[in-house]
């Protein structure tokens, strides 16, 4: 089963169902969310190999970020701690990592308040 990030955000962004009842993951209306919540609660989170892969991916994003900081500091980009970047900046970094043709513009994100 595939569950998109957007589906999760949409679900967890609302406290109530469209009919006004409280939104519960296990009310039978959101089977994919219920499966996700159960999986998160019951399964081991991460294997040693996955942990290594996650750390490598984070390192890759951090390297992209550091290169961006070096090349855009004089244009007004203010460096932040990598761990304190906004979700929008992480999204842009992930897109840049996945697509070499992606035009990374963290400066605009920062100027917009992200």
- Cα(35)–Cα(104) distance, integer angstroms: 35
Question: Rounded to two decimals, what is the model's pTM?
Answer: 0.59
Which residues of the chain have a pLDDT value below 70? Answer: 1, 43-46
pLDDT of residue 44: 67
The per-residue pLDDT for 51 is: 81
pLDDT of residue 102: 96
**Which own/partner pairs from 4-10 qualify as long-range (CB within 8 Å, at least 24 positions apart)?**
7/32, 7/33, 8/33, 8/36
């Amino acid at each position: 089963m595939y569950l998109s990030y957007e589906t999760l955000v949409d679900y967890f962004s609302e406290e109530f169902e469209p009919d006004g009842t409280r939104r519960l993951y296990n009310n039978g209306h959101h089977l994919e969310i219920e499966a996700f919540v159960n999986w998160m609660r019951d399964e081991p989170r991460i294997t040693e190999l996955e942990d290594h892969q996650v750390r490598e991916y984070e390192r890759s994003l951090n390297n992209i970020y550091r290169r961006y900081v070096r090349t855009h500091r004089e244009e007004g980009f203010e460096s932040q701690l990598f761990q304190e970047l906004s979700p929008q900046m992480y999204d842009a970094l992930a897109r840049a990592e996945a697509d070499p043709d992606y035009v990374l513009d963290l400066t605009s994100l920062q100027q917009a308040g992200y």
